[in-house]
Structure 1
Amino acid sequence: MTEVARAAAADPGQAGATGQPVLDKLVALLDLEVIEENIFRGVSPADRPIRVFGGQVAAQALIAAGRTVPADRHVHSLHAYFIRPGDPSIPIVYEVDRIRDGRSFTTRRVVAIQRGKAIFSLSASFQLIQQGLEHADAMPQVPGPDELLTYVEQVAAAKGTLDPTRSIPRPIDVRYVTEPPWLSRDKGPREGRNQVWMRADGKLADDPLLHVCVLAYASDMTLLDAPLARHGKYWWLDNVIGASLDHAMWFHRPFRADEWFLYDCESPSASGGRGLATGRFFSQDGTLVATVVQEGLLRVID
């Protein structure tokens, strides 16, 4: 740990908790309680005072779906809608509909419910491993994660211009390739691109479904920063009202979420009070492992 990191770690107000204990709490959140066949229950961490983090409910819903699928069938895609804000003070019930069990593909639909109303819905498709055509985009040329400041170091080095979410525990190690948005916003509009290295901040078990769900969790962390960057805006530091509306992911190749991956995000369009963002996940060896598309509500109050 560098001197900058030590200084930030010594002050809980400067940076959230990190490391294996925090990651273990995320894994525990994904270990849903079985209520009945096809019905599961999950909870939220106590440090989410306003609403349930979208990546959390997506990951929990995907775990629920995966627990009803044979282990030899792996997630290849998900499509989800965020319907209502989730209340972190009460449990979430996940109801799984076993839509289809085919010879190669298995389809599940999950509805997340609080107070008798749907807050989130997800459709996920699982596939037996099969051979076919192979091609993939190359990873952008960027500095490696070891060449970049950790999040704790980045916050400590900001000297007064800080990420307002810095005190939230962070199970995902995030290192910015592009300038962090809480710094770049002061420089006005810029290219709608956001690049970070990420990995689970500790060691995960070998369950492939767990790694997919952790990646789904991480995918909602920085994606909508891309459309805001094009307008020199950032959450909490500007009068921005925002929320995820829908989220889609395609998983192309095997990966481990506790190893480094580059999250390359950009925003091709914003209109009608909504911003569109796309993201690509690359493993550190340059392999494209997943693609993400999300549209979010983005309203800037002047």
Structure 2
Amino acid sequence: MKLSDLSLRSGTNYTADELRSAFDRGMTGRGIEICYDEDEQRYLRLYSADTGPYADDVSGGQFTYIGEGQTGDQRLKAGNRYLANAETVPLPIFFFHRRSDGDDWEYQGQVDVLSHEYGYFDGDERKVYQFVLQRRGESEERVDPTEATPDIDTPERTQTTRSRIVRNTALVTDLKEAYSATCQVCGERRRRKVDSGYAEGHHLKPLGRPHDGPDVEGNVLVLCPNHHADFDYGLLSVDPDSHVVAHAYDSSVDGRTLHVRDDHEVESEFLAYHNREIAEF
């Protein structure tokens, strides 16, 4: 799936199977899902339910959203980290909401992150991240045109710019071809079509802020979508010296050795950075 080909309509309800079909990936059960399309474009899917554990207020063009982590103080890890980074380096964020009387997810459009805070809110006994989100295409204030004063000066317009990371797509494409789209963790090869495989490139030290990792071969692993997500969520780590894989809960890959081709030098400093800054265990 390419984001440019994605077709969603705001206000439409989608089942979990329909979302899997639209995005070419299923739901993980997390409130903040980190995803990538075929062009390695990162995007987020946000979910909020009336019956969920978070006190989200999703009314209006601007609303608050509580980060993920249901027990203890929330941490700036995984989805919380990517959502916080989107405040300064925007990326596509798709927002879905489920009402208490329904099973499907209503797509409420893309959103931008305006700000975030960390602390105790509304009498909580634990610290959480509270994000202020803005639906795209909606202003913070709505003005009734019948009440507008005709002799008011035209508001000044301010031009803003957005930064985005320019990835070396050829580097990742070459690596995926070298590994025949086979995951370096589990050895599985997912098929995109009958005659072609599908894998994703993962930067151990992320390119975006605050990590500012380099877009070099030694910082990239070729992974299946599942283990790409596990790396992003901090559920996987790799010993920088022995390349032994540790997984937080999946015994089928825990203890395996990362498959690395002789012509692909995965640099130990980037493995160590991931283990120190991103891994959850």
- Structure 1-normalised TM-score? 0.29
- Structure 2-normalised TM-score? 0.31
The structure richer in strand per residue is: 1
